[in-house]
Structure 1
Amino acid sequence: MPITLPRSLPAFDVLNKEGVMVMGLDTAGKQDIRPLKIGLLNLMPKKIQAENQFARLIGASPLQVDLRLIRMTEHQTKNTAAEHMAEFYKPFQDVKHEKFDGLIITGAPIEKLDFEDVTYWDEFKEILEWTQTNVHSTFGVCWGGMAMINYFHDVKKHLLPAKSFGCFRHDNLKSASPYLRGFSDDFVIPVSRWTEMKQEEVDAAGLITLLGSNETGPCLVEDKKHRALYIFNHFEYDSGTLKEEYDRDVANGTPINVPCNYYPDDDPTQNPLNRWRSHAHLLYGNWVSEIYLTTPFDQSLIGQASTDLRA
């Protein structure tokens, strides 16, 4: 089954050309099934790039997904056309009365700031409280995941002495987890961040680390109490995303190391290799499948206690 998107959204043509099953809203409305309603709270400056990345992953599921794009209410983006934002995005305050089967909260290039110094922190906290009553499963990515784990469990983020940048090997720590079906014992994941969460502090909060690295610490953390996953690295990245970041910093004169284990022989004149794509599809496909298996058919019941249909 496809992901449903407005036909005028750039991701529609991008994914269609890649072979991802996409369906226009007009066609989807004629099907006698309930699609999974998943929101994307997009905090990235390059909105369209992030839309493509996450739509590609959740659109690979055999289930029909209705993707809704959400933005912070007062914060105005400087990197995406106002017309695009007006046509495709709804401010949170306009959707907070709705129920969602899933919600993805993206990263944001503000990780060096204290959480309380983020201009939209108050509304962000409101959104996190809202997920507990109106969202069945929430997936926080990079800064989004760090902000969630800090808010719900007071786990701190720590500034690194240098940017963790490249493709790092990670271990499958809980192979029996339904979110890790089909995962190898180890694999690489793109990492691009100036901060980290410490494993001992995640453990002290009573959370379950599903994926981790000896070099970059915990990666994927499950929070059953809050029906959430937190991932601090970037399975969603395109093949060239780290290259774009590296080239940008070089052009700006910003000190940056060549992303490790990314280019063949660590040579930035060569084309980078994508060695995480299959696991990216596995993780997000497993997440969508778990939502399908556990969310109530009656959306009004989302957020209520004991809505796991397998219980």
Structure 2
Amino acid sequence: MARTRSPLDRLRRPEYTGENRCLPCTILNVAIASVGTTLLAAWLTAAGYPTAALWVGTALLAVSLAAIWLRGYLVPGTPTLTKRYLPASVLAAFGKAPPDSPDGIEAGAGRDGQTERSAATSAETADATVDPDAAESLDVEALLERADAIEPCRGDDRCLTDEFARAWREETDAVREAENLSPWLEQLGLEGGDVATMDRGGAFAVDVNTRRVGTWASRPAFEADLAAGSLLADRVAEWESLPAHARGQVCNGLRIFLETCPGCGGPVSFGTETVESCCSSRTVAAVTCDDCDARVFESPVDEGQAAA
């Protein structure tokens, strides 16, 4: 039997409340409600109705706060106005600025609490084959070709080699069925331990031992990276010398060559689209599974790249 929607359900806007609530929008609208209520109460008091000012002001503020709680905003069009007019620095202060890096391992998420730079420096003292700035100067495509993970195809394009594609699928299946992910996490330069995940629909966050290590486009993308890290560790001589973020950069780059979904096994589609959030919008290049709609690759692009 279909559930009857209550009046509150009809008023509620889940896309702007709960985890999707925009804090700058909320603060702005609470300020507008407070100022409006204060001005109305002052006008009624000056007109000789102090009691009415108290009751009307209290009621108006209560209704305004209820609207903000249910809808995320009081003034119509607030989300659009916030995206358009609030500077990026203000949005960033509230954690709402558009990300300018691809999904995957976060900077400074190295094993045993090391930062990227300290991990790279330690590797250098152990006669590493990469410099401390490997994460910034890494040629992902060249590395993947040396690992026999990709090869030239269809003219100037690159495709997964048949052998690597088969091994990647098998390793991803093993990751999906495993109860302990520590061996795979360690191949990505991350500390093993207690893994907690949060799938928020468009952002799959991963914590290890209560510490955020990265955010992926989806669970299949995360599982594909764990599997790729395990395979590349045996194929790339300098893998152990790369800091965690550089390993994540390689695995993230590898996902763009997927032709079948690591989650449901169906075909994937590549394209660009505009991703909207409560306070911002951005154009991304994306690889999406056709059958299960899982996003397995996402990276911001500028307007010129999107047009191309």
Would you call these one fold, judging by a TM-score over 0.5? no
Structure with bigger strand share is 1
TM-score between the two structures when normalised by the length of structure 1: 0.25
Structure with bigger helix share is 2
Larger Rg over CA atoms: 2
